[in-house]
Structure formats: structure tokens, C-alpha cells
Amino acid sequence: MDLATTLGPLRLPAPVLTASGCAAAGRELAQFFDIAELGAVVTKSIMMAPRAGRATPRMAETPSGMLNSIGLQGPGVEEFLGHDLPWLAERGVRTVVSIAGGSVEEFALLTRRLRGAPGMVALEVNISCPNVADRGLVFACRAGSAAEVIAAVRREAPRDLPVLAKLSPDVTDIVEIAQAVVEAGANGLSMINTLLGMVIDVDRAAPVLAGVTGGLSGPAIRPVAVRCIWQVHAAMPHVPILGMGGVRSGRDALELVLAGASAVAVGTATFGDPSAPLRVQDELRHELAVRGFASLADAVGLAHRRGARVSGAVGAHVAVERDESGRDGAPDTRDEAR
Ligand SMILES: Cc1cc2nc3c(=O)[nH]c(=O)nc-3n(C[C@H](O)[C@H](O)[C@H](O)COP(=O)(O)O)c2cc1C
């Protein structure tokens, strides 16, 4: 089974990654499995300065999900460069460095500071953070501000360093945002970040999280991730997607792949099972094999070919059956009722 994959110019020998913020800088997971076996480790979003994050409580369980308002706690870029990245590089781990900022300038400064960092194979740009200059409105929620950040990162990044833009599902038209960041220079898209949610403790009649609202993740959001990946892949089939959102098993990962993801990241599942990323990778290999696929690449976006039967022995030799209208292409679902 050929599990190798590409995200634009980024070549990975394996398709499962950690999702940003769910495995810090990989150190904690290394006691459970060899993290170099994953496609890559995506680090917690790093900012210029150290940050304590939001007040506690900042986690809450929800039906089939989890709400967090960590608030981008982190050591700052200097500590990250001196401590975390060398540790990953020494172990031969491919590292995707996630960056976050409160301004376009902070994203640009971070990118410049990270130039030539050891072991860094790509940058993931977390644009789901508040833009201080725009009343705290999240960059990812407007095509203009999302594109501005990506253009600044692209300008500062070495030409051959892949840049992935991480998109928020909390938008009316995710395809519009995706198109804007790709035009601004993103080589690929990571999707989806958490959905904004809130929980109220009815006995105290008060919000559970000190930060009031938080990001919803876990199995509850997987259908949203599948829908977002589907819509973007339908509109831009040549733009590579790193999919994430509620993946707990190889079967879940395959669902995102069939929607159009070329690689999959595992986040929340890691809190309950620290081995989840490698387990999901092994299970994905099995799920592909039992369906007769010769490679992961054969499965990417396969569900878009409407008539294709994707259960049973199909794969490298899939005969795409056309539906009655004779179409086998990817329909534009953007106008369908949401
Ligand atoms: C506790 C926690 C912290 C997170 N921190 C970040 C972060 O720093 N940067 C980022 O881009 N996404 C962050 N995320 C979002 C995840 O990377 C991922 O996009 C999202 O949780 C959906 O995947 P999952 O359902 O597998 O967790 C965080 C998620 C959780 C649960």
C-alpha cells in the first residue's frame, strides 16, 4: 500500500499528521510511539511573545465533542526555536510549524524569524485568531483579511517553503475564503479549525468557560469538516487539502480523503488515546487495502465521482459509473440548501 502523499510541494511518506494544539510540540506523544512515523507533526500555533492563555476553566465536554478556550497559550517563538524545534529535528521528525498573530505584521515577523529553522517542512498559518486592528474580528472570516495574512507570509517565507492556510468553518462561503488565500499564495489548505460554541451550566446559570465561548472539536464536527472539504475540493480540485475534524479512526480518515483531503490530521482524539495519530494511520492503510486501493492517491476525492461505488472491492481499477445525467464530475454544491 502506497501511503505517500503530497500537499503541493510538500512530499510526505505517510498521510496522518497531528492537528495543531493537540500534541504541543510532539514531546508528550514520543513516549507512546515513534512520532517520526507520522506524515508530520503540526505544532501548537506559536506567536511572537510567550502567552499564558485564557483563564480557567477553559475546557468543557459536550455531546461527542469538546469545547476549548485555551487562548493560544505558548512559550513564544524564541523558546520554540531554542527548545522545541531542535528536539524534533534531532529525532528526524518532519515538522509543520503553525503560526498565529494578532496583526498581519506579527505573521510576517514570525515567518521571517522562522526562516531556515531546522526540520521545518512547511508553515501552517492559523488565521482563526482575532485581528487586533479590526475590532478583534477573526482574520479567517473575511476573504480580504485572510488573503492579506497569507500574502505577507508568502512574501517573507523562502520560495520553496510550502504554506498551508488553516481555514475556519465559521463562514458563510468557505470556497470564497479558500480561493482568496490560494490567490494570495497558499500552496494548500488545512481545514477545519474548531467551530465557535458555548456551554451554560444551568445550575449556576452561568457560562462554563471562563472565556464564555470556545472552539468545538471532536466527532461532533466531522460532518462539517466533510462538507467543507467536499465544497472546496469540488471548486478547486487541484488545491491540496490537509483535512481534520473529529477523526478518531482510519474509517473516519478515509471519509475525509474521499471528500478530497490528501492528508488527515488527528486532534481531539489524541487526548483520550495518545496513540491515536499512528493508530489512525495504520487503520487507514487497512481500510484502503480491504477496498482494493493500490495507493492513497487513488482514493483522494473519489466520492465526487457520483456514480462510483466506494464499498467492496474497488480502488485502482475503479470503473466510474456515471449517474443518470451522465455526469461523473464534481458538482458545485455551494448553492444547495445548508
Ligand atoms: C485543545 C485544542 C487546542 C487547539 N489549538 C490550536 C492551535 O493552536 N492552532 C490551530 O490552528 N488549531 C488548534 N486547534 C484546532 C485543531 O487543530 C483542529 O483543527 C480541530 O480541533 C478539529 O480537529 P479535531 O476534531 O480532530 O480536534 C486546537 C484544538 C483543540 C481541541
The reported pLDDT for the residue numbered 298 is 97
| Ligand 1 neighbour 45 (Cβ under 6 A) | yes
In this structure, CATH architecture of domain 5-304:
Alpha-Beta Barrel (3.20)
| Ligand 1 neighbour 233 (Cβ under 6 A) | no
| Ligand 1 neighbour 96 (Cβ under 6 A) | no
The reported pLDDT for the residue numbered 309 is 53
Q: Distance from CA of residue 64 to its chain's centroid? A: 19
Evaluate whether 65 touches 219 at the Cβ level (below 8 Å): yes
Atom of ligand 1 nearest to the CA of 268: 27
Atom of ligand 1 nearest to the CA of 65: 25
Q: What is the 3-state secondary structure (H, E, C) of the chain?
A: CECCEEECCEEECCCEEECCCCCCCCHHHHHCCCHHHCCEEECCCECCCCECCCCCCCEEEECCEEEECCCCCECCHHHHHHHHHHHHHHCCCCEEEEECCCCHHHHHHHHHHHCCCCCEEEEEEECCCEEHHHCCEEHHHCHHHHHHHHHHHHHHCCCCCCEEEECCCCCCCHHHHHHHHHHCCCCEEEECCCEEEECEECCCCEECCCCCEEEEECHHHHHHHHHHHHHHHHHCCCCCEEEECCCCCHHHHHHHHHHCCCEEEECCHHHHCCCHHHHHHHHHHHHHHHCCCCEHHHHCCHHHCCCCCCCCCCCCCCCCCCCCCCCCCCCCCCCCCC
For ligand 1, atom 4, the nearest C-alpha belongs to 21
The reported pLDDT for the residue numbered 330 is 42
Atom of ligand 1 nearest to the CA of 19: 17
| Ligand 1 neighbour 15 (Cβ under 6 A) | no
Nine-digit cell at 325?
445525467
Atom of ligand 1 nearest to the CA of 44: 8
For ligand 1, atom 26, the nearest C-alpha belongs to 267
Distance CA 31, CA 100 (A): 28
The reported pLDDT for the residue numbered 134 is 83
The reported pLDDT for the residue numbered 133 is 84
| Ligand 1 neighbour 280 (Cβ under 6 A) | no
Evaluate whether 101 touches 139 at the Cβ level (below 8 Å): no
Distance 21 CA to ligand 1 centre (A): 5
Distance CA 132, CA 104 (A): 10
The residue whose grid cell reads 461505488 is: 309
| Ligand 1 neighbour 193 (Cβ under 6 A) | yes
The residue whose grid cell reads 487503520 is: 283
Nine-digit cell at 236?
478547486
| Ligand 1 neighbour 5 (Cβ under 6 A) | no
For the chain, what are the domain ranges?
5-304
Active-site annotation holds for 22: no
Nine-digit cell at 334?
455551494
Ligand 1 site-directed mutation target among 16, 17, 20, 255, most atoms within 8 Å of CB: 20
Amino acid (1-letter code) at residue 152:
A
Q: Could you tell me the mean pLDDT of each successive run of 10 residues in the chain, 338 residues long?
A: 96 98 94 97 96 91 94 92 96 97 97 96 95 88 97 97 98 98 98 97 97 96 98 98 98 98 98 98 98 97 75 43 41 42
The reported pLDDT for the residue numbered 135 is 83
For ligand 1, atom 28, the nearest C-alpha belongs to 21
